Amino acid sequence: MFKSKNLESKSYFNVNYVSYVFIYLVYSSIFVFLNNYFPILFFDVLDINRIILAFIQFLAYSILLLRPAFAAITDKYRINGYQRKYYIIFSGYLLVVIYIFMGFTFTNILIFGVFLFLVFLSSTMLDVSTKSLIIDISPTNVNKKRAFFFITVGDSLGRVFPFFLYFLFINDIYSINSWTILFVCSYVFVLPLLGFLPFINEKIQKESQIIQNLESSTCDNPKNQNPYPNSKILFILLCLFVFFAFSDVIFIYPFFPYVLTKFGINNFNLFNFLLIFYFLLSILTTSIGTFLIKKTKPKKMILILIPVIGIVYILYTTVNFTLFIFLYFIGSALSVITNLNISVFIMKFKKGDRTIYFHLIATFKNLAFFIFIPMGTLLSSIITTESLFIIGAVLLNLSLIPLILIKN
């Protein structure tokens, strides 16, 4: 009987792990197109007014600030007896359908902006529901870390497919027909999600198990005392840390157009081809990151890696193409490890049996996106992208100040 329960639990988690891979494969693929290739289309092909583009981004990214509201809704209201499952299914289906429609509207920036807003709406709900499910059903920190490993696998795969499709279908970067074919072919990778979402499983733990898990994951002392007597100060520090830890997105939108302009179309195509191997790099670095989490505290790793990533950003401004490629892959690898450590570090501050506290903190990541991505788009018409690299490095390192003040 004992063996049967173990097998059932193992099978249950394996089904969900596969689902996490496909959810974040689609999630990441869409955002690679939005943040890497749409900028080239808008900057270099269609020459869209960047003030208008920044305004549309501002409206679309504003939906990310509703993350705590989505978390509160999924915490409070069940659908057909399930806390998270049907939120995941509905938002995933909506994301795929809206993305398909959006792919035909990029020549009309206003209509595109409406669909972009809806993509952010559905993707935020999907992300919130999925991570809330992981927090709910993972009985140990080991299970949480394993779940985030599979999320990272899906994320890495999702980042590779757009690069591969670009390499196959964009023969003339200034041809609208080539871009249309590229986005239509991208549907091949988002449609399978519709078949996998119904297999998401949600296991309701017994109350005694939940209490035991909360005690083991949120309390470090046998007396179940709160190690953070001033929780307001802790909350403020965590929010400031997360906000500045993701402020380097200020140069994410002009980045690919910068590579194209500075190094030329042939080198850009080579750069894009090499990005096909980003999956292998991400899997390797995620495995290393997971191993390091077991050997050292996430906070310590973050304190070490963030200054190094900042140095990489500054070096972008001075190196030739060969060194630029090397630095890009080094910086990407370190970012994967850092983000994994940030996720594990933040997740331990879940409060009670609700996930909203975690999502309130995570909202400051979205606040950084909401502020700095449109700002980077707007500033790219005024200052050089090299200047944005330096600004991003400075902002990123500001996150170390609140992190150091968090006693852990």
**CATH code reported for the domain at 15-405:** 1.20.1250.20
What is the distance between the alpha carbons of residues 139 and 133, in angstroms, rounded to a whole number?
12
Number of other residues whose CB lies within 10 A of the CB of residue 142 = 10
What is the distance between the alpha carbons of residues 146 and 153, in angstroms, rounded to a whole number?
11
What is the distance between the alpha carbons of residues 189 and 23, in angstroms, rounded to a whole number?
11
Q: What is the pLDDT of residue 228?
A: 47
Structure token pair of residue 213: 């898990």
CA quadruple 178, 180, 182, 184: dihedral positive or negative? negative
pLDDT tens, N- to C-terminus, the chain (408 residues): 434 444 344 444 567 788 888 888 888 888 888 888 889 989 888 888 889 999 999 998 888 888 888 888 888 888 776 778 888 899 999 999 999 888 888 888 889 999 999 999 999 899 888 888 877 776 666 777 777 778 878 887 888 888 888 888 888 888 888 888 888 888 887 888 887 788 777 764 433 343 344 344 433 444 444 444 457 788 888 889 999 999 999 999 999 999 999 999 999 989 988 888 776 777 777 777 767 767 778 888 899 999 999 999 999 999 999 999 999 999 988 888 888 888 778 777 655 545 566 667 778 888 999 999 999 999 998 999 999 999 999 999 999 999 998 876
Structure token pair of residue 308: 């190094």
Which SS3 state, helix, strand or coil, does residue 109 take? helix
Beta-carbon contacts of 88 under 8 Å, excluding residues fewer than 6 positions away, are 23, 126, 129, 130, 133, 197, 200
Structural Rg of the chain based on CA atoms:
21
Q: What is the pLDDT of residue 277?
A: 79
What is the distance between the alpha carbons of residues 322 and 293, in angstroms, rounded to a whole number?
32
Q: What is the DSSP letter of 140?
A: S
Q: What is the pLDDT of residue 356?
A: 60
What is the distance between the alpha carbons of residues 328 and 326, in angstroms, rounded to a whole number?
5
244 and 342 in contact (C-beta within 8 Å)?
Answer: no
Number of other residues whose CB lies within 10 A of the CB of residue 26 = 28
Structure token pair of residue 50: 């960047």
Beta-carbon contacts of 256 under 8 Å, excluding residues fewer than 6 positions away, are 36, 37, 39, 40, 268
With vertex at residue 279, the alpha carbon angle to CA 278 and CA 281, rounded to the nearest 5 degrees, is 65
What is the distance between the alpha carbons of residues 122 and 92, in angstroms, rounded to a whole number?
7
Structure token pair of residue 301: 């790793």
What is the distance between the alpha carbons of residues 400 and 303, in angstroms, rounded to a whole number?
7
